[in-house]
Structures are given as structure tokens and as C-alpha cells.
């Protein structure tokens, strides 16, 4: 123990400048996070959420390379350096100079935003576990198989390039308002990388078998990328259901062909798919659902089967700059449409025959309860089951808008509804948290924050008009309007097989609105 403390003090003296830089950056992030009044961070905070992990990574790499593990000419291998003492010293350094300051900063942010640090302790500690898996362990493993800081930087840049290449084929739009499986799709790769990191650090400090450790690293990266890109969505959803503890074997709901009333016009408003594509919107009804429950759906598979046995299977894998060939969207609690973007040649193949549309749906059943009701403009208030919510008026991109933001130390309920109600006219505008996406030319990911934030936007206009009028609220209605936040709890999830028979696809073709 005495030697471990000696090494710890020696590293602190040598790296005090790097430690000071990380603490200054952490203090700046903490200050901005405590004062933020929007779900989206400002320019400086967004960049600091990228720069601080880089600074931590540099500090950790410098720490490991104080006693490099690669090669046979470093001084320390000729000294009485017991490996357990060396590992303990490095772990203590990371704990004292990275994780402990981060934990204190998280507690300060949580308390400043009106949450009890004691009640939020579990969520705050879980963030430290994620920080170990995302920064500390990967950097320690990478540093353990590189000879010096220059080699570490080259390998890090190359790894980042591979990561960007993998992400380049992923759809950029978030799916936070849909049935989520992203905890599994990203969690399994991180688990693979974490186990590989533990293995590499253990092997290097125990026996310094660098070649074997590098092979483990390459295999782990390839396996994690393969899982992230090619894990079947139905498998991811089944795992997500098991983890949620609300899985159900029976069919609480079923899907049937619905009436076309009103759906055809709404189906036109999604997007313009391109001149070589044809949009098909097939309405459906959700039946056998309890009146007090809501449902969210996500396609796990879709196949069109013709009378002569000819088949066409939709590609549901997300891709950059293109939407999936098939998706499903709910209009209300009991109806929605299956939305297909087909090549004209595919539609021509099934032009003169009835077809069957079949596949699997991820089904989430949830219940709602009003959590908060307040004037349109209101300060931060507790919203039981959600967290704390507040609203602000702002002007962005030349438009005036009312933003309703909710935040919590725990995950925000997936289907939280935010409605604006105007009692004099009995009108209601229904939105959901995180139901819209704006593209920024700067970083907006705040994964270092201990709080989860999401918002929805009501556009204030003189007179609503156009296809996007459901997002627009008359400016004079804001003075008497109220905001209702309705929390939703997941009660069941299931993998549902559906079959829509005897369809003529030509009957459901719609002409989408051109942008």
C-alpha cells in the first residue's frame, strides 16, 4: 500500500498541469449545465462536452505511460514494482482526479436544478459507471498496448475514423418518440468493449503480452461494430422487453385493416421520397386494447406476398440520408398507417394482384396520468413521474416559439405527452417530449450531464396555415392557454405478428407533399 501511495503522489506531481486543465474544464461545464434553460446546450457547453473527455483521455494516457507496458527498456521493470501496487496507484489516480471531481460536479448540478442529491444518488452513480465504460477503461486499455503518447494518438485517431465510418451508415434522426431498442443496440457493443478493456488491462499488467492484447482489441472492435450494425431489431426488442420486466406472452392487442378516412391526407404530409419512389399508406386499426391504455408500435419486419408466391421484403435498417423502406405511425390511440416507400418497379410487380402484408411489430402498451398543469409560461415545477418542467419563449430561425422542457436525473418516460389547452375555444394541441428534431452546425450532445432533458416546441403565429399547422398556435391564444404534462408508464411489451390480407397496393398510393 505504501508503494502504491508513493506512485500515486509521484504521478500527481508530474501531471499537475494536466490535472488543473481537466478541473478547469469540468468547472466550466458544471457552471453552464447548472444555468441552462433549454434542452439543447449552448455553443460553449456543446464543445466542452467533447473537449473534456479528450482532456481526460490525454491525462489517462499520460498516466499509464509514466510506467509504459510495451517494450523491455523502461526503467520500472528493473525495480521492485509489484504489479498490484502499480495497478492500485493508477486506479486511485483516476478515482481521485477524474471520477471524484465528476461526482461532486454532478451532485452540484442536480442540487442546483432542484433535485435531491440523496434521491438522485443511484442515477448519479450509474453515470460514473458509464464514464468508466466509455472513457476510463477504453483509454487505459489503449494506453496499455501502445508504446508512447504519439502511438496512442495515432491509434486513437484511427479508431475514431473507424467509428465515424460505422456511424456513417446510421440514420441521423433520433427515435426517442418511437419504441426504443437503442439501449440494447448500443449497450451490447459497450459491454463487449468493456469486457475486452478489462481483459487487456489485466493481461498487460499481469504478463505484458502485448501481441495477445492487441488481438483482443481488434477482435472486440470488429465484434462490437458487427453487433451495432447488424443486430436484428426483433432480437434487440426481445432483450429490451426482458430487461424492462413488462414482457407479455399473450396478445393484448391485434392489428386489422382500418378505414381510410383522414389517413390519406395525413400520409401525404410525411416527406417527399424522390422521383423514383412511390408512397403507399395502408391504414390500420388497433383492436382489443383497454380504453385507458395507449400503444406505440415499431416495425420489426415487413414482407409483401403476392398471390403467385412472389415476395418483397422491406429493408428496415437505418441509413444515412434515407428513410427506411417501411415504417409505422400512430395517428391516435386506435389507428395509424403502415408507410411504404417503394421503387416504382416493385409497385408494378404487384399491380394486378391482391397481396398480403405481413411481419412483426414491436408493441409497447402504456398508461397515462396527468402530472402537471400550469399556464403557458411557467417557471420550473415538479412533475411527478417525469421530473421538473418549465416553459420559455424564444425566437430561433426567424420564428417565435414556446418551448416546454422537462428534466430528470433518471430517464424521462418515453411517451410523455405535452398538450397546450385553450379553454375558451376548447382547442388542444398535442405534442410529445422530443417529438421534433433540429439540425445544428455544432455539438449538442451533453452526455456528461447528470440530467436527462427533452423538450417540445409550439410555434406561435398570427394565423396557423399550411400542412404543418398542427405545430402552430395562434399568438393571441397563449395568454389564456394552459400546458398539461401527462406522464406515461410502460405496462406491457410484446412482439406481435400481424397479417393484412387481400390488399391492392394501388388503392393506397398517395402523392406526398413536395418540400
Per the CB < 8 A criterion, the answer to whether 285 and 335 are in contact is yes
Element (H, E) at 402: strand 399-408
Burial of 235 (0-12, 13-18, 19+ CB in 10 A): middle
Residue range 461-474: mean pLDDT, rounded: 71
Q: What count of residues does the chain have?
A: 515
**Higher confidence at residue 43 or residue 271?**
43
pTM of the model: 0.83
**Higher confidence at residue 414 or residue 9?**
9
pLDDT of residue 173: 44
pLDDT of residue 406: 93
Residue-number span of the structural domain to which 433 is assigned: 368-490
Residues 376 and 486 in one domain: yes
Q: Which of 120-129, 200-209, 260-269, 314-323 has the lowest mean pLDDT?
A: 260-269
Beta bridge partners of 419: 430, 484
Element (H, E) at 400: strand 399-408
pLDDT single digits (tens) 387-415: 999 999 888 767 788 899 999 998 888 77
Q: Percent helix, strand and coil across the chain, each rounded to 5?
A: 40, 30, 30
Q: Distance between CA 482 and CA 420 in Å, rounded?
A: 6
Provide the percentage of residues in the chain whose pLDDT is more than 70: 85
Q: Distance between CA 182 and CA 492 in Å, rounded?
A: 18
Is pLDDT at 323 greater than 70 in this prediction?
A: no
Mean pLDDT of the chain: 82
Residues 330 and 439 in one domain: no
Q: Distance between CA 149 and CA 155 in Å, rounded?
A: 10
Residues 476 and 452 in one domain: yes
Residues 373 and 478 in one domain: yes
Residues 287 and 357 in one domain: yes
- Count of H-run helices and E-run strands, the chain: 13, 16
pLDDT single digits (tens) 187-226: 888 899 999 999 999 999 888 899 999 999 999 988 988 8
Beta bridge partners of 337: 283, 329
Residues 374 and 485 in one domain: yes
Residues 290 and 376 in one domain: no
Residues 353 and 500 in one domain: yes
Q: Distance between CA 277 and CA 368 in Å, rounded?
A: 38
**Higher confidence at residue 360 or residue 318?**
360
Buried/exposed 91-113: b ≥16 CB within 10 Å, e otherwise = bbbbeebbbebbbebbbbbbeeb
Is pLDDT at 127 greater than 70 in this prediction?
A: yes
Could you tell me the pLDDT band of residue 469, with boundaries at 50, 70 and 90? low
Residues 424 and 386 in one domain: yes
329 assigned to some structural domain = yes
* Domains: count for the chain: 2
Could you tell me the pLDDT band of residue 52, with boundaries at 50, 70 and 90? very high
Q: Distance between CA 471 and CA 431 in Å, rounded?
A: 8
Q: Distance between CA 303 and CA 310 in Å, rounded?
A: 10
pLDDT single digits (tens) 495-505: 888 888 888 88
Provide the percentage of residues in the chain whose pLDDT is more than 90: 30
Residues 473 and 359 in one domain: no
Q: Which range scores top for mean pLDDT: 9-23, 70-84, 253-267, 360-374?
A: 9-23
Amino acid at each position: 500500500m505504501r508503494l502504491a501511495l508513493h506512485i500515486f503522489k509521484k504521478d500527481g506531481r508530474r501531471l499537475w498541469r494536466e490535472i488543473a486543465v481537466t478541473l478547469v474544464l469540468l468547472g466550466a461545464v458544471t457552471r453552464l449545465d447548472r444555468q441552462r434553460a433549454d434542452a439543447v446546450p449552448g455553443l460553449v457547453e456543446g464543445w466542452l462536452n467533447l473537449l473534456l473527455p479528450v482532456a481526460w483521455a490525454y491525462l489517462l494516457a499520460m498516466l499509464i505511460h509514466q510506467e509504459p507496458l510495451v517494450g523491455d527498456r523502461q526503467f520500472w521493470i528493473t525495480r521492485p514494482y509489484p504489479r498490484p501496487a502499480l495497478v492500485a496507484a493508477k486506479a486511485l489516480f483516476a478515482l481521485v482526479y477524474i471520477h471524484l471531481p465528476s461526482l461532486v460536479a454532478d451532485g452540484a448540478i442536480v442540487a442546483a436544478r432542484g433535485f435531491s442529491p440523496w434521491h438522485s444518488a443511484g442515477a448519479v452513480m450509474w453515470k460514473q459507471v458509464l464514464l468508466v465504460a466509455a472513457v476510463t477503461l477504453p483509454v487505459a486499455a489503449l494506453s496499455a498496448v501502445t508504446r508512447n503518447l504519439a502511438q496512442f494518438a495515432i491509434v486513437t485517431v484511427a479508431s475514431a475514423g473507424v467509428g465515424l465510418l460505422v456511424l456513417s451508415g446510421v440514420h441521423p434522426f433520433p427515435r426517442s418518440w418511437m419504441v426504443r431498442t437503442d439501449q440494447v443496440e448500443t449497450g451490447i457493443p459497450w459491454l463487449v468493449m468493456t469486457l475486452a478493456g478489462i481483459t487487456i488491462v489485466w493481461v498487460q499488467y499481469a504478463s505484458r503480452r502485448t501481441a495477445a492484447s492487441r488481438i483482443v482489441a481488434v477482435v472486440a472492435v470488429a465484434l462490437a461494430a458487427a453487433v451495432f450494425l447488424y443486430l436484428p431489431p426483433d432480437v434487440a426488442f426481445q432483450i429490451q422487453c426482458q430487461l424492462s420486466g413488462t414482457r407479455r406472452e399473450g396478445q393484448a392487442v391485434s392489428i386489422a385493416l382500418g378505414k381510410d378516412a383522414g389517413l390519406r391526407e395525413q400520409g401525404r404530409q410525411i416527406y417527399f421520397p424522390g422521383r423514383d419512389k412511390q408512397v403507399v399508406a395502408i391504414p390500420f386499426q388497433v383492436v382489443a386494447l383497454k380504453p385507458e391504455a395507449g400503444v406505440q408500435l415499431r416495425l420489426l419486419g415487413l414482407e409483401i406476398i403476392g398471390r403467385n408466391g412472389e415476395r418483397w421484403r422491406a429493408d428496415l435498417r437505418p441509413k444515412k440520408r434515407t428513410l427506411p423502406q417501411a415504417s409505422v405511425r400512430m395517428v391516435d390511440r386506435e389507428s395509424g398507417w403502415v408507410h411504404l416507400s417503394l421503387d416504382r418497379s416493385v409497385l408494378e410487380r404487384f399491380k394486378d394482384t391482391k397481396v398480403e402484408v405481413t411481419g412483426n411489430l414491436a408493441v409497447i402498451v402504456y398508461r397515462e396520468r396527468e402530472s402537471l398543469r400550469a399556464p403557458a409560461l411557467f417557471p420550473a415545477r415538479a412533475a411527478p413521474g417525469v421530473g421538473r418542467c418549465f416553459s420559455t419563449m424564444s425566437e430561433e430561425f426567424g420564428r417565435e416559439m414556446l418551448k416546454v422542457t422537462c428534466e430528470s436525473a433518471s430517464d424521462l418516460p418515453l411517451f410523455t405527452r405535452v398538450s397546450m389547452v385553450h379553454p375558451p375555444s376548447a382547442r388542444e394541441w398535442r405534442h410529445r417530449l422530443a417529438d421534433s428534431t433540429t439540425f445544428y452546425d455544432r455539438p449538442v450532445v451533453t452526455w456528461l450531464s447528470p440530467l436527462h432533458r427533452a423538450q417540445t416546441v409550439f410555434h406561435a403565429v398570427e394565423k396557423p396555415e399550411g400542412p404543418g399547422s398542427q405545430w402552430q398556435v395562434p399568438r393571441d391564444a397563449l395568454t389564456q392557454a394552459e400546458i398539461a404534462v401527462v406522464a406515461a408508464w410502460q405496462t406491457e411489451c410484446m412482439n406481435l405478428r400481424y397479417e393484412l390480407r387481400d390488399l391492392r397496393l394501388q388503392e393506397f398510393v398517395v402523392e406526398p407533399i413536395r418540400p
